[in-house]
Amino acid sequence: MTTTPVTVTVTGAGGQIGYALLFRAASGQLLGRETPVHLRLLEIPQGRAAAEGTALELEDGAFPLVRSVTVTEDATAAFDGVNIALLVGARPRGPGMERADLLEANGRIFGPQGEAINAGAASDVRILVVGNPANTNALIASAHAPDIPASRFTAMTRLDHNRAIAQLAAKLSVPVAAIDRVIVWGNHSASQYPDISHATVNGRPVTDLVDEDWLASEFIPRVARRGAEIIEVRGSSSAASAASAALDHVHDWVNGTGERWTSAGVVSDGSYGVPEGLISSYPVRSVGGEWEIVPGLEIDAFSRARIDASVAELVEEREAVRALGLV
Ligand SMILES: NC(=O)c1ccc[n+]([C@@H]2O[C@H](COP(=O)([O-])OP(=O)(O)OC[C@H]3O[C@@H](n4cnc5c(N)ncnc54)[C@H](O)[C@@H]3O)[C@@H](O)[C@H]2O)c1
Ligand SMILES: O=C(O)C[C@H](O)C(=O)O
């Protein structure tokens, strides 16, 4: 634990996720209850007033860990000296859209932000991209930050991971904490593969307890399409659960996972047949402040086909942003 204040920049701070995220970050749920924070809220002119209002409410929260709150429209100022960058600011999809439909509009946000991070971030900077399509936006930001190791750019698939655990816990009538070794592979999109072939419940293989039909026809599509289900039911995209997953991701990254597994979109080193350089979701542990891909897992034919399909979509997205000149 450190008592040196950590600078946390949240883009899209005036939006839904920003509002759900900032108060929990201020209370210590992002980095730990001993770590003071400087909060930087980056917005565009349309979102500035909402971010200013959030800043007033953060002040009124009288959070002991908050050392300062700054609202800005200037990416250079927002990322100067940043330790933790939460890139949330981007358009959400509406009903009937896929996340990849946002590629061109949102992709243009992440090149300039990558450049500003490259220019000014602290040497230990860690970046989580939440704005969709998250994996490819993280790839774009990383491509514009040549001085920052690619391993520091991550994309959020923790919400998918949490959704998978929650569905499994409900099916098996166990607390979520009883479940470990769930994996989300690939893209944060409908092609993602929530994989329970290595999962355990109280140390026992989950595959002994659920049938393949439930897996293929209920569990996988429910988790993969949960974002769309939320949009249909709520009328707008997930916010509090997304913020919660962002807190989980960063908290685990900084504080470690121990032996437990989680899922994160991290740069591929070629593991499990994913082309090197893509930002793909993998089973990971956080050790010594770095994400490590869980090595050596056996991948059966059912899983192989699904991982390959999601990775193929990531390759297509990379080609699309290359064609747009974004990487
Ligand atoms: N990865 C995930 O699991 C996950 C989960 C939920 C939502 N999301 C995505 O997160 C993004 C944000 O969702 P939301 O519900 O908060 O949307 P929102 O529309 O409520 O808020 C987005 C905010 O970003 C701001 N913004 C836009 N461009 C910006 C820029 N260049 N710099 C700074 N701010 C900018 C907007 O002004 C707005 O206030 C969307 O792309 C959504 O699809 C991802
Ligand atoms: O599905 C969306 O567009 C929002 C978000 O990515 C989610 O998974 O809830």
Domain ranges of the chain: 6-155, 158-317
Q: Is 159 in the pocket of ligand 2 (CB under 6 A)?
A: yes
Residue among 38, 144, 161, 188 flagged as catalytic: 188
Of the bound ligands, which one is closest to the alpha carbon of residue 53? 1
**Residue 244 pLDDT more than 70?**
yes
User: What fold does the segment set 6-155 form as a domain?
Assistant: Rossmann fold (3.40.50)
- Asked whether 227 lines ligand 2 (CB < 6 A), one says yes
ipTM over 0.95: yes
Identify the weakest region by mean pLDDT among 86-100, 134-148, 220-234, 277-291. 86-100
Residues 6+ apart with CB under 8 A from 221: none
Feature table: binding site for substrate: 93, 99, 132, 163
Asked if the bond preceding 275 is cis, omega within 30° of 0, the reply is no
Q: What is the pLDDT of residue 284?
A: 98
> Any catalytic annotation for residue 249?
no
pLDDT, tens digit, for every residue of 157-167? Answer: 999 999 999 99
Per-residue model confidence (pLDDT) at position 1: 47
Which pLDDT value is given to residue 98?
85
Atom 7 in ligand 2: residue holding the nearest Cα: 227
Distance of alpha carbon 310 from alpha carbon 254, whole angstroms: 28
Structure tokens, 120: 């000014």
Annotation: binding site: 12-18, 93, 99, 106, 113, 130-132, 163
272 conformational bin, left if phi > 0, alpha if psi -120 to 50, beta if neither? left
Could you give the CA distance from residue 142 to residue 148 in angstroms, rounded to a whole number? 8
- Report which protein residue has its CA nearest ligand 2's atom 2: 227
The structure's pTM equals 0.98
Q: Which fold has domain 158-317?
A: L-2-Hydroxyisocaproate Dehydrogenase; Chain A, domain 2 (3.90.110)
